[in-house]
Structure 1
């Protein structure tokens, strides 16, 4: 014979009571809070389940009544969180107290739910103590006498004390005792927390508990687990980040052993879930002047079983362009993580390109290798050595270049979202020293790209975004500079509203060449209209000069316009309409379509 629990019988009775008729949700909710604390009122309304149910047309009456019963606990927690421990909560369903309605007499229809809250007096801390504390522990300022006795503050204090001991190497710290007493007569709360730090702990061994297509020796090398060092929660996070950033794993979980080993050492379990090894992607852009641009990539995340990443990129640009011809590019790059330590990887690359630009035609091949170092979560750098060969045709005629280069870059990325940032900054500096293997001429190419984002309004509804690009190329002899190292402005990546690479240096005979220095400035005001749709107003300006370090003759031009953004999981779809506002390099309306913000 099956024996049913009390809760199961109640559920069955509750379900049978509703089997015979339709369920119609409530029409109205009256929600009232006594007192003058507007912040408390907002918090209670935000926590209310019945108010949320009123806005949810899909909920039936059974769900709404369940919400009414749960309302007492939900609002009580909110009162405690705000320091109110003597409140009175009433929830009436068509005039009847919800808590007093038997479960087998639940109404089939609900007209009105009335919620009334009398929070009473706000309690203050009478005493607030936590001991012992690790040196340098940062306790909440609110955890002290005569401050509002919010329950969240007590929890924050306990968490801060535990974190302090763990950061000091005491991984097994425990809250050994707590005493929290409310005095309703004088509206005070006394909280006393007592901790048992336990011994100082050192890291033991990293024990992989799951199988992976990445070899165990490579997993250990990438993780860089600090065996023998004093325990630190930050070191645990660093190990997890190193493994995640390879892209080879969809899940990385570190679990501390329950018991300490010999010499107060702490082993850590590592559970890995492999990511799908292969990935393919494609993109497209369109401009009325530049034409279509198509791009695609193929990626392998674990090429040789050591989390090596092989990526092949190809693109075709300026299809149907009104200025210049079609450009082609094909590149391949192989990265091996943790080649020279857990934060330093090595890479090799090769690429070929054909560029038919307004100022030149270039056929080039480039190959080399280098290292990449991760300094922090926001700062990384690369240093490489490469050989570049190119055949070019420009205003100076047909030329060949065979260069040894040292491309390097430093990237500082503090944006809150790479695809659609609303706050933060981005700075990338690139430098390419080069020397000609034909005649010994030498020089250097530099480019800095700085961006800043500032959101304001509710949930960053408005975003002010700015960008500046500054570049210059120096050489012992200007003829040693390949045409594709020179700078132009105009088009979607620099000055919208102006034709693609329309601003350069007049070479006579109706031809232009690139300048040795340039600067572009862009500003956008982005406004979110709905959760999916946004509008953008923007202005761009560009300046190109003939010589290095902005010496010699030069000109400015600018463009401005409006755009629409539609949010998707892979970034916003972008439609920009722009027109020139200064300069003599173009006229008419330009339209740009792509994926992702302009910058």
Structure 2
């Protein structure tokens, strides 16, 4: 009689076979988060999801049970990721889309009402309680009352306050109270922060090491006296002064609070000299000067007194220059230089060929945000002027000049908020060796503001005037002109000015006694490095008596934030008057101010 297994045994065997049979593997194609406009929030939520963090191999071999387990984790993980942004009541909906064994998971986020700061209790005790700079800094901490309680903003504010205390010399400061109470039901957060600053340290002696100069020379640049309250701004000012000397390849300023005696912090300045002699040669192109060659020699320091020597030769299509200068440090007062310089220049622009010899003795310095220069100038000029009908004319001028430049900027290369002013005054008299009595003033102002993350508005204005009873004999190098890369774009270099008819019947630009130029430019960045601009420039160099006739140029440009500074390539068209109307290319390299 055949053997018949019991029914219960058959059922157990079938169950074992089902369990042992491998389930079909699923492939996770993607996890997508929707409902969040903020890219950082969306990225943080994705990074918090265990399902999204699966490596490629596990994504291709996902079981139903494992998928179900990870899907159940998503709401909690997403809500936790949103809490640092102030959202404690986030709704999370998960949708699984299947295409055979391919799975796409969509996570829909509804942030809900954010938690906002209801109350702040901020305290500063110790010596810093009377420090108004720190008190103002404390009140500027974010998030403020009424703002969303963002954890990162809160932590950054605490860290910034710690750094501000250290920068002002409160090296023993500690955060005694740091408490946040969150009411999820009320969507409110109460913040309590209290610092005990301790005593404020003072600045001690500065020791400068590793330089080749005689003792006492660089010490004049130290802007503090031992015993003055510690302030990191003084250290930064010293670093800026040393960097501007161009003596050093590296400057390392190290305050040593651990070595302080009686709360006085010694400062060590480690200096690494730069290469002493610099030789340069290259090919250059400027839309004002044309194609050319340059070569130069710079002796960063000539001797242990810190003297400098520099010579530069530039040969171009429309302008040739040979310049040399010798500089002597003047650090005891106004942090500047005594300079003796000489220059030979030959330039030919629209029928005016002039040759210039200039010798200058000057004293420069800094006063606050002002860079100042006082100079005595000797200028001998020979010029061939088609407008006057003479083959050559000669001019000898001896005159003092004053130059001042003021500026403030949030970034030296790419400012988002900046303004600057430059003023120059010249005065010559026949009583002191000049051929002509004259007074000349010129000023230029710039203003830059950003709006939004990618846009900037740049405004520029120039004005100048000359008082002289013999202006027709004024040398071309001191007349006013407009037009060119840094003036009215759309016109050639020195193309705009008072016009006269030459002996050959042609019209030549002579220049003007007065100058007015204005520019408006709107810039937009498309990436971190590349952008575009549109602009309108207008201006004229004129003689007065109703002769002001502004020439207008407009165009578009390409902007590149290169590693060595801003590069501006513009295409512009001039729209008026006597100047030649054409589309012109303009190239500018260098800071906006």
Aligned residue number for residue 201 of structure 1: 201
Residues of 2 paired with 1:433 and 1:456: CA distance? Answer: 42
Aligned residue number for residue 410 of structure 1: 404
Aligned residue number for residue 316 of structure 1: 315
Aligned residue number for residue 498 of structure 1: 491
Q: Residue 513 of structure 2 is aligned with which of 503, 511, 516?
A: 516
Indicate conservation of the 8 Å contact 2:355/2:382, yes or no.
Answer: yes
Mapping of residues 200-599 of structure 1, within 5 Å: 200-208=200-208, 211-213=210-212, 217-259=216-258, 261-277=260-276, 278=278, 280=280, 282=282, 284-285=284-285, 287=287, 291-295=290-294, 297-305=296-304, 308-317=307-316, 319=317, 326-341=318-333, 343-376=335-368, 378-394=369-385, 395=388, 397=390, 398-416=392-410, 423-436=417-430, 437-438=432-433, 441-460=436-455, 463-478=456-471, 481-502=474-495, 503-506=497-500, 509=503, 510=505, 512=508, 513-546=510-543, 550-551=544-545, 553-593=547-587, 595=589
Q: Secondary structure at the match of 1:374?
A: strand
Q: 1:29 to 1:501 in 2, by over 3 A?
A: same
Residues of 1 paired with 2:213 and 2:516: CA distance? Answer: 45
Residue 473 of structure 1, CA deviation: 1.8
Aligned residue number for residue 4 of structure 1: none
Residues of 2 paired with 1:529 and 1:144: CA distance? Answer: 32
Q: 1:151 to 1:592 in 2, by over 3 A?
A: closer
Residue 175 of structure 1, CA deviation: 0.4
Residues of 1 paired with 2:571 and 2:558: CA distance? Answer: 9
Residues of 2 paired with 1:535 and 1:157: CA distance? Answer: 35
Q: 1:46 to 1:282 in 2, by over 3 A?
A: farther
Residues of 2 paired with 1:164 and 1:276: CA distance? Answer: 36
Q: Which moved more, 1:173-182 or 1:155-164?
A: 155-164
Residues of 1 paired with 2:107 and 2:213: CA distance? Answer: 57
Residue 60 of structure 1, CA deviation: 8.2
Residues of 2 paired with 1:391 and 1:362: CA distance? Answer: 6
Residues of 1 paired with 2:341 and 2:580: CA distance? Answer: 38
Residues of 1 paired with 2:529 and 2:237: CA distance? Answer: 35
Residue 64 of structure 1, CA deviation: 11
Residues of 2 paired with 1:498 and 1:327: CA distance? Answer: 18
Residue 392 of structure 1, CA deviation: 2.8
Indicate conservation of the 8 Å contact 1:45/1:51, yes or no.
Answer: no
Aligned residue number for residue 10 of structure 2: none
**TM-score, normalised on structure 2?**
0.73
Residues of 1 paired with 2:254 and 2:143: CA distance? Answer: 31
Residues of 2 paired with 1:294 and 1:116: CA distance? Answer: 63
Residues of 1 paired with 2:555 and 2:87: CA distance? Answer: 53
Indicate conservation of the 8 Å contact 1:224/1:342, yes or no.
Answer: no
Q: Secondary structure at the match of 2:516?
A: strand
Aligned residue number for residue 173 of structure 1: 172
Mapping of residues 4-23 of structure 1, within 5 Å: none
Larger radius of gyration: 2
Residues of 2 paired with 1:249 and 1:542: CA distance? Answer: 43
Residues of 1 paired with 2:282 and 2:267: CA distance? Answer: 40
Q: Secondary structure at the match of 1:217?
A: coil
Q: 1:352 to 1:582 in 2, by over 3 A?
A: same
Residues of 2 paired with 1:385 and 1:265: CA distance? Answer: 45
Residue 344 of structure 1, CA deviation: 3.2
Residues of 2 paired with 1:250 and 1:93: CA distance? Answer: 60
Indicate conservation of the 8 Å contact 2:90/2:111, yes or no.
Answer: yes
State the superposition RMSD in angstroms: 4.7
Indicate conservation of the 8 Å contact 2:428/2:434, yes or no.
Answer: no
**TM-score, normalised on structure 1?**
0.72
Residues of 2 paired with 1:255 and 1:86: CA distance? Answer: 48
Residues of 2 paired with 1:64 and 1:386: CA distance? Answer: 78
Indicate conservation of the 8 Å contact 2:220/2:332, yes or no.
Answer: no
Residue 268 of structure 1, CA deviation: 1.7
Residues of 1 paired with 2:117 and 2:438: CA distance? Answer: 69
Q: Secondary structure at the match of 2:494?
A: coil
Mapping of residues 33-112 of structure 1, within 5 Å: 42-47=39-44, 50=47, 61=56, 81-83=84-86
Residue 286 of structure 1, CA deviation: 5.2
Give the unaligned 5+ runs of structure 1. Answer: 1-24, 96-109, 320-325
